[in-house]
Structure 1
Amino acid sequence: MRTFSKKVNEEQQDKLSFDLEINIKKEYRNITRLKGRMVPVVTWKVNLYINGNKLDEDEVFVEDEFFTSLLCPGKYPMFTCTCGIFGCGGYYVEVIHGIESLFWLTEQNPFSDRSIKTPNKFSFSWSQIMNFSEELIQKLEELKSIMASNGLEFRYDVERYKGIIEKINGVE
């Protein structure tokens, strides 16, 4: 069980945040060579921010790796190329667990705006990371509901993510 102390000066910590863009439309898809029909298409994108600065859109946040990194420190392929192939343009984040903070060491400047100078080391309080995680799970549940209402498959294991948060909080 992890307890969150208020001793950490939140002002000195970095802040991780996100927005989730969801687009719902219908497109004509060919089912066979002779027939076609309109089918629902739901696209989404998670945009990450550190201290209000947007991370590079050419790098896709891998939610599954993020949640796994909360359980155990290590090097994680947390960002991948927009094509979905890590080796094409992704990069690793070294995750270090401290008593009061979680640290990210990135291989490159993660920001869209390359003029932002960064030492590529970020320190997040555990309480802020937990709030971020819970908000992300809530948004993914909303997305899951949208996908289900359109008859589409959902690829995130939200129940696993909830289990990780419960394990960290000592609720099992």
Structure 2
Amino acid sequence: MITQNTALFTIFGATGDLAHRKLYPSLFRLYKKGFIKDNFAVIGTARREWSDVHFREVVLDSIKDLIEDKEDAISFAAHFYYIAHNVNDAEHYIKLKDLSESLDAKYSLSGNRIFYLAMSPEFFGTISEKLKEQKLLTQNGFNRLIIEKPFGRDFESADALNTKLRKSFDENQIFRIDHYLGKEMV
């Protein structure tokens, strides 16, 4: 029996190639398999001024090769919302928090939050700090930070980034995906 999971996914860098080619199709596969169904929502955020409607069209385009049932795909895309966001502007995190709380109530997400940073590594520390400062991390659910990019240039830069992230998230809440980690072994 498949257990449905509840979570609000916030994707920083939602207009980028990584999100389009990898993240949206992966979420759709989870949806089709029943791991996420009714009780999930996705907030896409980036600098571009997009509407929810345009964002959903982009999502549908990214999954077009996976669609077997058009109504099912439209139902999936209806869970996607977009907000333009400047990662350095505290005011934008307040708007993000308001939308997050609204979607948490609408989809009964129990305060479960997944923050996916699919953007330039130079912003990882800033985003994690602002998420904590502006109280986007919940007390009643789980909080996860997923980082998808090279994690530092060397030991010193990776260590400095870890120090910044641990000011906002516990180690067991941080998930790192590094494109280059296993390159030499391959």
TM-score of the two chains, using structure 1 as the length reference:
0.28
Higher Cα Rg: structure 1 or 2?
1
Q: Kindly indicate which of the two structures has a greater share of residues assigned to strand.
A: 1
